[in-house]
Structure 1
Amino acid sequence: MSDLSNWKMCAAPDLKTVRGRFVSVEPAQFPGCAKDLFSVIGGLANDDLWTYIPIGPFEDAEQFSAVMAYVIAQQNWRTHLFRDARTGAPLGMASYMRIRPEAGSAEVGSVVFSKQLQRTPAATEAMYLMVRHLFDDLGYRRYEWKCNNANEASKRAAIRLGFSFEGVFRQDQVVKGANRDTAWYSIIDGEWPRVKAAFEAWLAPENFDEAGRQRRSLLEIRDAL
């Protein structure tokens, strides 16, 4: 085990606007960004994006903005907006949650990817830029991912991104009138160098062919390291 006798608490996440090859990540300011975000993750056509999110779906941008402003204030979320790095078009959002600077721990949650963002290099890069801030900039020890245990897509995403499964909290919450068993995943600081190297190798231009298809999967790269 690490010697933590000289441990000092970390700063809270404070990720400013950062631009990658595919996506830019910026602090989400409500109500200013509400219409932009709602245009790609709101409305009846996108109700399915909110199935496993504790909030939403929303009737309009005003309701969306009001709820987001409330939870950000009440639960100390640090919410970020994703944009296409080339066009500036909105793509989705995610939040740093359960922030515990005294333990060097935070969660990424309420991840809502628009249909345009799902299964793209930009989606992976957005998650990479958020986790890199905590470990490289702030020296965190732990990064969490939690989801409804019925959400198979989220569980697959956690493993793909390098999180390790820790277990299931049974009857953890009542969400939208239904039971939620919560699956817990994490990356810890000792695992981060390998996870980071895999992210960077996967995102590198040489990992994509002329049609933009990956040559090696993120899991394949990480397993080879």
Structure 2
Amino acid sequence: MTAKTPAPVTLTGRHVRLEPLRRDHTADLFVAAGGEEEVFRWLPWGTPQTEAEMAEVVEGYLKNPGCEPFAVIAADSDRAVGVSCFYDVNPVDEWVEIGGTWYARSVWRTAVNTEAKLLLLTHAFEDLGMGRVMWKTDHLNERSQNAIRRLGAQYEGTFRRARRRPDGSWRDSVYFSMLADEWPAAKERLTGALLGRV
């Protein structure tokens, strides 16, 4: 069976809403995280210091043909506080990557990431019929690796000298995945973790 290709969709939870990224999210995203070096430290572009630079970041997502980007909207403010994406979809082999993710520091260690990933994983496995969801991150980004492990993803390996960082140094990419038969247990854990944050 072939999985479905993601199409623009809004995914709604209690704490966050994921909606297709638009240019008019730029102002909120800049207010939320503009100039925050730690937020953008491991991403393949510099930290946006102006709203115009944040607009370039948003445009990069929108112009990437392999990317289905979502603005992460905090329910308590109805403002965009981050971005997460589906990448490199392969419906024939039933896999998709979640990546390009960042959140304002103000929502770190809150329900935002847990629920955003719960919504994306539910959509990938249950609506699109994916058999495998993947993540990759910089080998030095331990915070991201720990967050991915907490989702229930399994470490698969390290792709050495995978990408040049903005400063010219080389990163190794650490790969993780979750399979469809691992999803029910992960969903139960994530749902429980989310309830524990309320």
TM-score by length of 1: 0.82
Task: Indicate whether 1:180 and 2:171 are aligned.
Answer: yes
Is residue 2:183 matched to residue 1:192? yes
> Which residue identity is paired with 1:149?
H
Q: 1:64 to 1:87 in 2, by over 3 A?
A: closer
Residues 132 and 170 from structure 1, CA distance in 2 versus in 1: closer, same or farther, beyond 3 angstroms? Answer: same
Matched, 1:161 2:154: no
Corresponding letter in the other structure for 1:150: L
Q: Which one-letter code corresponds to 1:139 in the other structure? A: G
Q: Secondary structure at the match of 1:33?
A: helix
| Pairing 1:112–2:105 present | no
Is the aligned partner of 1:36 residue 2:9? no
- Greater relative contact order (CA < 8 Å, ≥ 6 in sequence): 2
Superposition RMSD on alpha carbons, in Å?
Answer: 1.6
Equivalents in 2 of 1:70, 1:20: separation in Å?
A: 27
| Residues 92 and 117, structure 1, Cα contact 8 Å, conserved in 2 | no
- TM-score scaled to structure 2, two decimals? 0.92
What amino acid is the match of 2:117? M
Q: Who is 1:70 aligned against?
A: 60
**What runs of 5+ residues in structure 1 fail to find an aligned partner?**
1-6, 213-225
What is the deviation of 1:141?
A: 0.8
- The C-alpha deviation readout for 1:180-214, integer Å capped at 9, x for no partner, is 1110000011111111121122223xx35xxx5xx
Q: Which position in structure 2 is the counterpart of 1:215?
A: none
Aligned to 1:203, what secondary structure does the other structure show? helix
Contact 2:61–2:69 (Cα < 8 Å) also in 1: no
Letter in 1 for 2:26: A
Larger Cα-atom Rg: 1
Equivalents in 2 of 1:130, 1:90: separation in Å? 16
Task: State the match for 1:148 in structure 2.
Answer: 138
Superposed displacement of residue 56, structure 1 = 2.9
